[in-house]
Amino acid sequence: MYVLLFLFSFHFSWAITPEEACQFKEAVQAAPDDFSSRDRMMAEELCSAAGHYEEPLLPDQNASKKVGTSAAMTDYSEFYQSLSKSLNSLNKPEICDPKENAPKGVVYPTMTLAKTAAGNIPVSVLTEDEAKKIFSEFSKDERYAFGATQNGCYARAHIFAQQMEKKGIRVAKMFLEGELIIPEEKRQYPENYMWNYHVAPVVAVQTKKGIELHVLDPALYDKPVPVKQWTDKLLTTPQAKKEALAYITDRFNLGPLRGETLPSAKNEPNRLKWHAADTVQSEQELEARREEQSMLAYEREQLKREKGL
């Protein structure tokens, strides 16, 4: 049994608590034969990291102190109505001002997305060329294992968000929950054709039409695409759109909300910080996906040899 799959049998709040992490560690220790040595080490690291937070390089000082919109209320049609209003009533862009330990001279305009599942959150505004450049870097970076995308979207989005922050860029996360049909050409396993949720980084892009939100998702596309194009690729029927939940959170939230509401930054100051346990979990997930990618490449090569190609 792989430890990261086992994790989801536990019910965690927006961030795993030390009690939950160590309870999980005890469960692993109680049945050590069910886990590999790496899995047991993972449980140990998670227990040690839970409850520790890192200050962001780009503090969201102007982020909303209010509770976000309940994810249970953000159905497909309501999401796009809210997003349209938010994009049509932008405040004067702020300037993203990295701390001294971030690369100097890297500043991007920042807009505020209103009434997201995480409240009002800042997102960097990029030019179309800038968005294409970071997408290209994302898609080519081996750490993200885009050759094995059946699992691990939350980890890719989380680690990418941390890497972008080092460049002075604030991303947000676009979540979609429901019966999501994976495009046939993107499936690694023919029998696995569906996700129950998907997440990818999102940035604001200054286009000729105005500011648009674009999703950065090399698992599905070869370039940044508008949010609606991304959701419609996965929701292939009117019924699927009717039943789906679509929402945006800040970059610090790790996984899908499943109808829950994120706490406000006022009531939970650590909401706008990087949780060390989330980073551990994401890095371990990506390591597993890289191993899977190597295995899939090996199997494809073996199949070619058997066919005499």
- Paired residues of 132 in beta bridges: none
Can you give the pLDDT of all 309 residues of the chain as single tens digits?
444 444 544 444 446 777 777 887 888 888 888 887 777 887 888 888 888 899 998 877 555 544 444 444 456 777 777 777 766 655 445 555 554 444 444 578 888 887 788 888 889 999 999 999 999 999 999 999 999 999 999 999 999 999 999 998 999 999 999 999 999 999 988 888 999 999 999 999 988 888 889 999 999 999 999 999 999 999 999 999 999 999 999 999 999 988 788 877 777 878 889 999 999 989 999 999 999 999 999 988 888 888 765
Query: What pLDDT score does 58 carry?
Result: 83
Q: Which amino acid is at 161?
A: A
Query: C-alpha 217: how far from its chain's center?
Result: 10
Of the candidates 226, 222, 223, 175, the one whose C-alpha atom is nearest the C-alpha of residue 203 is 226
**Dihedral of CA 128/129/130/131: which sign?**
positive
Q: CA-to-CA distance for 43 and 291, rounded, in angstroms?
A: 19
Return d(Cα 154, Cα 173) in angstroms, integer: 9
Q: What is the pLDDT of residue 73?
A: 42
User: Are the C-beta atoms of 244 and 190 separated by less than 8 Å?
Assistant: no
Give dist(CA 242, CA 205) in Å, integer: 28
What is the gyration radius of the CA atoms in the chain, in angstroms? 20
User: What is the separation, in whole angstroms, between the first and last Cα of the chain?
Assistant: 35
Identify the pLDDT of residue 102.
46
Which pLDDT belongs to residue 41? 82
Give residue 12's pLDDT.
44
Q: Identify the pLDDT of residue 197.
A: 95
Burial class of residue 192 in the structure, from the number of CB atoms within 10 Å of its CB (0-12 exposed, 13-18 middle, 19+ buried): exposed
Q: Are strands 94-95 and 194-207 parallel, antiparallel or unpaired?
A: unpaired
Which structural domains are found in the chain, ordered by start? 1-51 (no CATH), 71-272 (3.10.620.30)
> Which residue matches tokens 């949780």?
275
- Residue 178's alpha-carbon distances to 74, 198, 209, 229, in angstroms, are 12, 9, 30, 16
Query: What does DSSP say about strands 194-207 and 274-275: parallel, antiparallel, or unpaired?
Result: unpaired
SS3 content of the chain, % helix, strand, coil (to 5): 45, 20, 35
Q: Which residues of 216-225 are buried (b: 16+ CB within 10 A; e: fewer)?
A: bbbbbbeebb
Nearest by Cα to 105 from 93, 96, 94, 115: 96
Q: Which residues sit opposite 210 in a β-bridge? A: 207
Count CB atoms within 10 A of the CB of residue 115. 18
Task: State residue 2's pLDDT score.
Answer: 45
pLDDT tens profile 137-150: 999 999 999 999 99
* CA–CA dist 183, 186 (Å, integer): 5
State the CB neighbour count (10 A cutoff) for residue 278: 25
